[in-house]
Amino acid sequence: MKNLERMRQGARYAAVPLTMAALAGCRDEQPRRPNIIVMMTDDHTAQAMSCYGSLLVETPNLDRLAREGMLFENCYVPNAISGPSRACILTGKYSHANGFTDNSRTFDGDQQTFPKLLHEAGYQTAMIGKWHLNSDPQGFDFWSILVGQGEYYAPLFIENGEEKVCPGYVTDVITDKAIDFLERRDPDRPFAMLYYHKAPHRNWMPAQRHLGMFDDKVFPEPDNLLDDYAGRGRAAREQAMEIGRDMWPEWDLKLITPEEIARIDELTHTDDANKDDVKRANDRLSSIMQYRAAYDRMTDAEKARWNEAYAPRIAEWRALRDKASKEEIVRWKYQQYMKDYCAVIKGVDENVGRLLDYLERIGELDNTIIVYTSDQGFFLGEHGWFDKRFMYEECQRTPLLVRYPKAVKAGTRSDALAMNIDLAPTFVEMAGLDVPEDMQGRSLREVLTSGGATPADWRTGVYYHYYEYPSWHSVKRHYGIRTRDHKLIHFYNDVDEWELYDMQRDPHEMRNVYDDPAYAEVRARLHAELERLQQECGDTDPCEREYEFFRGAENL
């Protein structure tokens, strides 16, 4: 509490005239403070954005943000999982400092966040979409949040404390709410809006208009789709996120007809006391129950269109499942996964376009700092995986685009090691406030306004710490450091293993060189760097800290 008070006082409005005059090009009139929109998606990785070079899907509206703003090539999250990542963004602090280390936690909403600071400084604030922090949002004039993970069809929201089911498709509904908030705003004051999508989170249910749109596309496979994890440790081998083995046929791949759903008991019955069989039966039950619940939210007309769209896939699966090899099944499932994931991305991209058009129409587009990011990256078949959590590149890295023509040159790229904890201080600073000293990220303002040059004293390594184990997908607890050229990871808890990767020679992290004598010097240097970062951010006893888990498993 003492801290909060101190920070409140620290976040004075003092620096406005100077900073804003600089940003607004020193005009005579009282400079306008920028609006802020944070567009965040859930599990959208750079491999599925054409501005990052994706061959999987075209994202013209996101590409527009990149073309008219700055694209960050190296933005990293400190903890690649939803709730924790959201807490990092709100507070500008690492998980151990903001207290939200894993999805079972409840966010302490009394602590300092950037929306609160902006609100206190006169901004109109709104939070719309996936919140996933298990406590009510604070610091917003308007909030309308999905409950937990949220649903794709007819999603349930809590709006300023009241529950309401909203008909339609979640990505469209969130955008409608965002536009509605902007319509109702006071045009004389700046706004800050968190526009947070559920999409493209598992189980990747496309909007009706996108069903079947990729039926004829053959998606390029990552080189390591059939990875056997040789050259890596137990963490990579013992996870539960393989497309071939761990994807649920019904929930993830939609491989069940409505008639079969009705026979759920028969389908999931087992007499066998064998542990593996019981686990399989339980998984199948969860898979079908979850799918049924999601499917039942659709209207009859939507269900009919859905059934028609997935019937050919179900028929193909039946013809293939008993005769295909294990590899063929992985490859087939990967294709289906990509069809759904990319169709869901289309919904995001279109809605981002809709919001940009709206801002343009009301004359606020160029007055608004628009950020596009995701709560973390995601595996799209790399290492044979879906999901995230690992400190491996595909999910530690997250997309980051920033458009604000008054200060950010169009079409610029930055390769600075950025982090999502940098966003809070960036917004606070660009709104003309002093950045509170306890924010651990560093404002990106200098990077944004430099045309892409990285300040000489910028960070040289990013810190990571993942805690949620045992849990979904069995990714072991780990922490580590990524520098421009290397990555050092320590897996701990029920294991004690180190991994070191040469990111220049081995960008896909296929060969752990921790014990390779050729890397002895690098290894010592990285250990020292890691310790320094841990001291600096206060995570000094990463394996020893008392760690209670699964207190609120229903929150996951």
Site residues for ligand SGN per CB under 6 A:
42-43, 81-82, 103, 132, 149, 201-203, 251, 290, 387, 472-473, 556
Q: For Ca ion, which is the closer residue by CB, 190 or 206?
A: 206
474 interacts with, out of ligand SGN, Ca ion, none, CB within 5 to 8 A per kind? none
Beta carbons of 488 and 480 less than 8 angstroms apart = yes
Q: For ligand SGN, which is the closer residue by CB, 267 or 556?
A: 556
Q: For ligand SGN, which is the closer residue by CB, 546 or 554?
A: 554
501: β partners: 487
Element (H, E) at 290: helix 275-295
Structure tokens at 337: 């996964």
Q: What is the smallest separation between the CB atom of 517 and ligand SGN, expressed in angstroms?
A: 38
Q: For Ca ion, which is the closer residue by CB, 340 or 375?
A: 375
Which one among 42, 250, 340, 539 touches Ca ion, defined by CB under 5 A? 42
Beta carbons of 417 and 71 less than 8 angstroms apart = no
Q: For Ca ion, which is the closer residue by CB, 34 or 84?
A: 84
Structure tokens at 433: 């406030």
Q: What is the smallest separation between the CB atom of 420 and ligand SGN, expressed in angstroms?
A: 14
Q: Tell me how far CA of residue 296 lies from CA of 154, 262, 507, in angstroms.
A: 10, 12, 43
- In 3D, which of 370, 355, 376, 351 has the Cα closest to residue 410? 370
412 interacts with, out of Ca ion, ligand SGN, none, CB within 5 to 8 A per kind? none
Which one among 350, 375, 394, 422 touches Ca ion, defined by CB under 5 A? 375
Does position 364 interact with Ca ion (CB under 5 A)? The reply is: no
Contact region for Ca ion (CB under 5 A) — 183-191, 272-280, 368-376, 482-490?
Answer: 368-376
Q: For Ca ion, which is the closer residue by CB, 392 or 404?
A: 392
Q: What is the smallest separation between the CB atom of 388 and ligand SGN, expressed in angstroms?
A: 7
374: β partners: 41
Q: Give the number of residues written for the chain.
A: 556
Beta carbons of 13 and 432 less than 8 angstroms apart = yes
Element (H, E) at 311: helix 300-320
Which one among 38, 39, 43, 309 touches Ca ion, defined by CB under 5 A? 43
Q: What is the smallest separation between the CB atom of 82 and Ca ion, expressed in angstroms?
A: 4
Q: What is the smallest separation between the CB atom of 376 and ligand SGN, expressed in angstroms?
A: 7
Q: For Ca ion, which is the closer residue by CB, 43 or 141?
A: 43
Does position 82 interact with Ca ion (CB under 5 A)? The reply is: yes
Structure tokens at 171: 């990505």
Contact region for Ca ion (CB under 5 A) — 34-42, 150-158, 307-315, 470-478?
Answer: 34-42
Q: What is the smallest separation between the CB atom of 379 and Ca ion, expressed in angstroms?
A: 12
Q: What is the smallest separation between the CB atom of 76 and ligand SGN, expressed in angstroms?
A: 16
556 interacts with, out of ligand SGN, Ca ion, none, CB within 5 to 8 A per kind? ligand SGN
Distance CA 238, CA 31 (A): 56
Distance CA 194, CA 423 (A): 12
CB atoms within 10 A of CB 307: 16
Distance CA 307, CA 318 (A): 16
Residue entry with tokens 């699966």: 317
Distance CA 481, CA 532 (A): 10
Does position 102 interact with Ca ion (CB under 5 A)? The reply is: no
Residue 329 burial (10 A CB sphere; 0-12, 13-18, 19+): middle
Total binding residues for Ca ion by CB under 5 A?
A: 4
Q: For ligand SGN, which is the closer residue by CB, 76 or 123?
A: 76
473 interacts with, out of Ca ion, ligand SGN, none, CB within 5 to 8 A per kind? ligand SGN
- Mind spelling out the 3-state secondary structure of 139-198? CCCEEEEECCCCCCECCEEEECCEEEECCCEHHHHHHHHHHHHHHHCCCCCCEEEEEECC
Residue with the shortest CB distance to ligand SGN: 82
Name the residues that contact Ca ion, by CB under 5 A.
Answer: 42-43, 82, 375
